[in-house]
Structure 1
């Protein structure tokens, strides 16, 4: 009963994965994400899983919680945690169609992280087809809001992870193909400048531009970046008429630190920027935060299992901590053994060049099956 001998076929997996990629599911389109969840639910039900749809909240799409038949159902087991939302808006398929080019396959969300989610689905499909039962009960939880910091489903993920023997996240593999055993802390902020409107041509001097004030604040925010704590502004919304001095400008900022204390200092520095200058008020509101997840003995034990399986497959699985938060921040910070970034290999996530290495589908499916059949 060697899971590495299961008949994983990359071409067959691509055929099954294609409908998932062509079902576009940007985070902010709750209905689109729910359609993706329904598609995954259909595929999972077809292999004998029990699927519970959890209605979306806060404007986000549904989640699905999936369990597989097991004599110890309900006891501590393995949670596979993934997200089905992507950063790509509806219509991205016109610019980034699902296509195969030599050993690569392109498509929105194929690397982050529908490819990895599908790999674990295929692993369970082949395990079930072989008539095997995993040593521990397995649950999948697919959520709709990871790309914006998991504001709606953090509690759902933490509840699902509590008491489990292991949490596995099929996020994209690290650039060297390695796994992630810890992640840096991340905080988000909503920024607001409030100025004074006026006619931009007739009474320019009477106005106080919220846009101009925000531009100055962005430079100030990003100048706070150090080796220990970084700051960046990635979203700006303001203005409607070019002949009006803007009275309001909104922006979103992100801060990341390797240590919690550095993030705490960064948060304090950001909040201290609040105030009024030249008739324009600047306000900062804390957004969602991902706590520091530091490598722990339980996680390292999981990694050793994965490293051994990878060696049997024929590749070296390195490990390390990483930036770019995931839902592993939550489960890892809880102290639940968590292994992250064991999904597909690829490049270009969050871009119009997002792609995976086709060969990594079978490679990672073997790794997934090996983990599901060897974690006890």
Structure 2
């Protein structure tokens, strides 16, 4: 099987790819540091051009530039879209505290799992295709963005546009803890609830005031009542602020809300409920701003069919692929929401995303490269 040859190719060159991965990890690239992101984008673009790609660098004044690489453009049919990101949650200087280290079969470092190893998977597969004379079933479009960790605000439009013109989307985010691919993700919403009241002296004339904090307490309970775990709908008031000093009836208070929903209909219902909240306490006013910045990735029939194909492809590699869902969001939420069959969690095995013990299982690199190659060759 050709994809088994890809596994052997990557495995034989594994130390070379680990050295390349170390270089990527040691180039710190937090989501809001345009200078560092753009330098990394340039290095990735050079790498892709060396692999025969037609590379488009998408200028982004609001953050780091994004990259689109097009490969095998003469192949028939709409392309397979491969999606990843090269920004991380880690601030500059993290390497001084958490230096890259290798411990047995694991490589530890900030951003190694989420998700710079996926850049190595792309490079390994494309190099193997060239060396082995393999051609994919359709053209390949590779999109790596610079702002996934902060909501993909500047890349969303391009993600959705590329998804609409693609046969399917393969998302190189990490898999579930047990290695399962992701065929469903919750949608993610962010809302700010603000209460305006009326200040007054708490000792002399409290009756002249209207407490924004008391009203906020009522609203927090209303938000909590919207939770429906059985339906996969969860809301969390994660931050509250209000008041000035203890002897003043507070004139203002606010809350930051995280909302998650399994279906688009569920997300719409939550959004409608939150935006419809009204005040209970006389003399106060409630306003809610925000919305779902990532729609749910639903396990549609098209997604289920794509996974079934992937499972059959995996069998040829000796892999028993399984699927699952997660409450976190990714750019796969966008590709699925526009109707493009999407398969997520195709990155390397490991753990500790966004945590001090972030790591990959080095031995999973050839296996995941072979899986990605098989999907590109056979679907």
So what's the TM-score if we normalise by structure 1? 0.85
1:50 Cα deviation from its structure 2 partner: 1.8
Structure 1 segment 326-341 matched on structure 2, within 5 A: 326-341=330-345
2:38 equivalent in structure 1 = 34
2:270 equivalent in structure 1 = 266
1:172 Cα deviation from its structure 2 partner: 0.5
Q: 1:135 to 1:209 in 2, by over 3 A?
A: same
Q: Distance in 2 between matches of 1:212 and 1:137?
A: 59
Q: Distance in 1 between matches of 2:26 and 2:236?
A: 31
2:102 equivalent in structure 1 = 100
1:279 Cα deviation from its structure 2 partner: 6.6
Say if 2:215 and 2:279, in contact at 8 Å, map to a contact too: no
Structure 1 segment 152-163 matched on structure 2, within 5 A: 152-163=154-165
Q: What SS does structure 1 have at the residue aligned with 2:10?
A: coil
1:261 Cα deviation from its structure 2 partner: 2.8
Q: What SS does structure 1 have at the residue aligned with 2:333?
A: helix
The answer to whether residue 120 in structure 2 is matched with residue 122 in structure 1 is: no
1:301 Cα deviation from its structure 2 partner: 3.3
Q: 1:46 to 1:208 in 2, by over 3 A?
A: farther
Say if 1:151 and 1:288, in contact at 8 Å, map to a contact too: no
2:24 equivalent in structure 1 = 20
Q: Distance in 2 between matches of 1:209 and 1:121?
A: 59
Q: What SS does structure 1 have at the residue aligned with 2:177?
A: coil
Q: Which moved more, 1:261-270 or 1:159-168?
A: 261-270
Q: Distance in 2 between matches of 1:62 and 1:54?
A: 5
1:82 to 75, 81, 84: 84
Say if 2:51 and 2:123, in contact at 8 Å, map to a contact too: no
Q: Show CA shifts across 1:243-279 (max 9, x none).
A: 9999776654221122333322222232233548587
Q: 1:237 to 1:8 in 2, by over 3 A?
A: farther
The answer to whether residue 77 in structure 2 is matched with residue 67 in structure 1 is: no
1:198 Cα deviation from its structure 2 partner: 10
Structure 1 segment 242-257 matched on structure 2, within 5 A: 252-257=256-261
Q: What SS does structure 1 have at the residue aligned with 2:82?
A: strand
2:306 equivalent in structure 1 = 302
Q: Show CA shifts across 1:41-86 (max 9, x none).
A: 12212222121110115x222111111243238x511110112222
Q: What SS does structure 2 have at the residue aligned with 1:313?
A: coil
Q: 1:295 to 1:279 in 2, by over 3 A?
A: same
1:159 Cα deviation from its structure 2 partner: 0.7
Q: What SS does structure 1 have at the residue aligned with 2:335?
A: helix
Q: Show CA shifts across 1:300-330 (max 9, x none).
A: 3332332233333333210133321211122
Q: What SS does structure 1 have at the residue aligned with 2:290?
A: strand
2:54 to 50, 53, 67: 50
Q: What SS does structure 1 have at the residue aligned with 2:307?
A: helix
Q: Distance in 2 between matches of 1:242 and 1:55?
A: 50
1:148 equivalent in structure 2 = 150
Equivalent residue pairs, number: 373
Q: 1:198 to 1:64 in 2, by over 3 A?
A: farther
Say if 1:233 and 1:254, in contact at 8 Å, map to a contact too: yes
Q: Distance in 2 between matches of 1:100 and 1:205?
A: 65
1:188 Cα deviation from its structure 2 partner: 1.9
Q: 1:144 to 1:236 in 2, by over 3 A?
A: farther
2:172 equivalent in structure 1 = 170
The answer to whether residue 2 in structure 2 is matched with residue 2 in structure 1 is: yes
Q: Distance in 2 between matches of 1:234 and 1:272?
A: 20
In structure 2, list runs of 5 or more residues that go unmatched: none
Say if 2:168 and 2:340, in contact at 8 Å, map to a contact too: yes
Q: 1:247 to 1:44 in 2, by over 3 A?
A: farther
Q: Distance in 2 between matches of 1:3 and 1:61?
A: 34
Q: Distance in 2 between matches of 1:101 and 1:239?
A: 50
